């Protein structure tokens, strides 16, 4: 008996369609299996808190030390207000007006002349413009010759007046040196004598001799009399 076959039923006609559907289904299942994640039970308990364990922890009780309150401040002393009877009469100061009326006489003030005070200026003997003139040196023409003449005259005067035997009386021997400083003031007088020597007796003798110097013509600087300091060494040998 020959089987009857429907000529319209063709199984191989839709095989490619079924194959595509099956392939797509397999790819979907494979992708789902790869991306599927599993979690352990222990990991799910991370956010849970065991309240029983927390309650078992003992919290230490701290006692607050109560400090005694500070003593109250002493009461302020009451202000004693002394009431003074207003019996003292106070003189009122009357300020006079400084405005000048037309009838007020204006007093003319005379000019006050201020006198110039001359300063005592010391000019060294070596640089002064016009040296002091020792008596007997007036005829010298220039300043240098007058200076040399003065030094020579003073040395001669001291050698003549000084008592060289005083050193022997004082028990001194050998070469003696006395440094003397004095001033010829702006009037020509000898002032400010100072002496330094090995013995006070020699200082006293040197001061005495210099004080005997005659009055001179004062030295001048820019045409005005000035003080002129002068230094003089006195040197002599004591004869044994």
Decide if 105 is inside a domain: no
Tell if the pTM clears 0.75, that is, is over it: no
**Cα–chain-centroid distance for residue 61?**
64
Decide if 26 is inside a domain: no
Decide if 184 is inside a domain: yes
Decide if 76 is inside a domain: no
User: For the chain, what is the domain count?
Assistant: 1
Structural domain containing residue 196? 143-238
Decide if 214 is inside a domain: yes
Decide if 162 is inside a domain: yes
Taking all residues of the chain, what is their mean pLDDT, rounded to a whole number?
A: 77
CATH assignment of the domain containing 172: 3.30.2420
Decide if 24 is inside a domain: no
pLDDT in tens, 52-99: 554 455 555 555 556 667 777 766 555 444 444 545 555 555 555 556
DSSP reduced 3-state for 198: coil
Q: What is the pLDDT of residue 227?
A: 95
**CA neighbours closer than 13 Å in the CB half-sphere of residue 103:** 0
216, two tokens: 């001179």
Q: Are the CB atoms for 183 and 190 separated by under 8 Å? A: yes
How far apart are the C-alpha atoms of 180 and 195, rounded to whole Å? 4
How far apart are the C-alpha atoms of 90 and 106, rounded to whole Å? 35
Give 10-residue mean pLDDT values along the chain (240 residues): 51 72 85 68 49 51 64 60 50 56 62 65 90 93 92 94 89 92 95 94 95 94 94 87
Decide if 32 is inside a domain: no
């Amino acid at each position: 008996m020959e089987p009857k076959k429907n000529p319209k039923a063709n199984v191989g006609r839709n095989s490619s369609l079924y194959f595509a559907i099956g392939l797509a289904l397999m790819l979907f299942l494979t992708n789902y299996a790869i991306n599927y994640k599993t979690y352990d039970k222990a990991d799910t308990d991370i956010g849970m808190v065991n309240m029983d364990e927390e309650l078992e922890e003992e919290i230490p009780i701290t006692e607050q030390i109560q400090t005694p309150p500070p003593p109250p401040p002493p009461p302020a002393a009451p202000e004693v207000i002394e009431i003074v009877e207003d019996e003292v009469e106070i003189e009122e100061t009357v300020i006079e007006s400084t405005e000048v009326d037309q009838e007020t006489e204006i007093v003319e003030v005379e000019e006050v002349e201020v006198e110039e005070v001359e300063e005592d200026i010391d000019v060294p003997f070596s640089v002064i413009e016009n040296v002091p003139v020792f008596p007997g040196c007036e005829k010298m023409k220039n300043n240098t010759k007058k200076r040399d003449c003065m030094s020579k005259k003073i040395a001669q005067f001291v050698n003549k007046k000084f008592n060289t035997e005083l050193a022997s009386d004082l028990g001194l021997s050998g070469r003696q040196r006395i440094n003397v400083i004095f001033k010829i003031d702006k009037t020509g007088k000898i002032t400010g004598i100072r002496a330094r020597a090995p013995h006070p007796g020699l200082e006293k003798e040197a001061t005495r001799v210099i004080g005997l110097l005659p009055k001179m013509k004062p030295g001048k600087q820019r045409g005005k009399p000035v003080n002129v300091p002068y230094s003089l060494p006195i040197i002599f040998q004591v004869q044994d």
